[in-house]
Amino acid sequence: MSHVNWISATIGLLTAGLIFYLVRRDHLHTRYALWWVPVAMVMAILGVFPQIADWIGRTLGISYPPVIPLLLGLVAMVVKILVMDIERSRNEVKLTRLVQRVAILEKRLEDRLSKGGKTD
């Protein structure tokens, strides 16, 4: 195993180990773990067996196979960012509706109190 392979394996296994540690300690929610656990597995496998990328490159006719993991990582990041933006947009809509509901309830409570009504 060459020096580059050892570095690649170490980075892949450390990243996978960190992700599994975060999932195990509940620092990473299960919903997100379903995304990150496969990423950790792919990183560990490609880190230990970089010749897999070479084989895929030859099979697909790609002249420089090391670009495959980089391209897959870039695509995965774009998809993850898109999913995060969709979730953030949903949360913003929920928050806006919740703020509006609280404002309506506060107004009703204020109207009742100003008319001398009970708050029960």
pTM > 0.75: yes or no:
no
* Gap between the Cα atoms of 114 and 20, Å rounded: 57
pLDDT of residue 120: 57
Mean pLDDT in each 10-residue stretch from start to end of the chain (120 residues)? Answer: 76 82 83 79 81 88 84 87 92 97 96 76
pLDDT of residue 1: 62
Q: Provide the angle, in degrees to the nearest 10, between the axes of the packed helices 3-24 and 30-48.
A: 160
Per domain, the residue ranges of the chain are: 3-90
Q: Where are the beta strands (DSSP E) in 4-91?
A: none
pLDDT of residue 26: 84
What value does the CA radius of gyration of the chain take, rounded to a whole number of Å?
Answer: 25
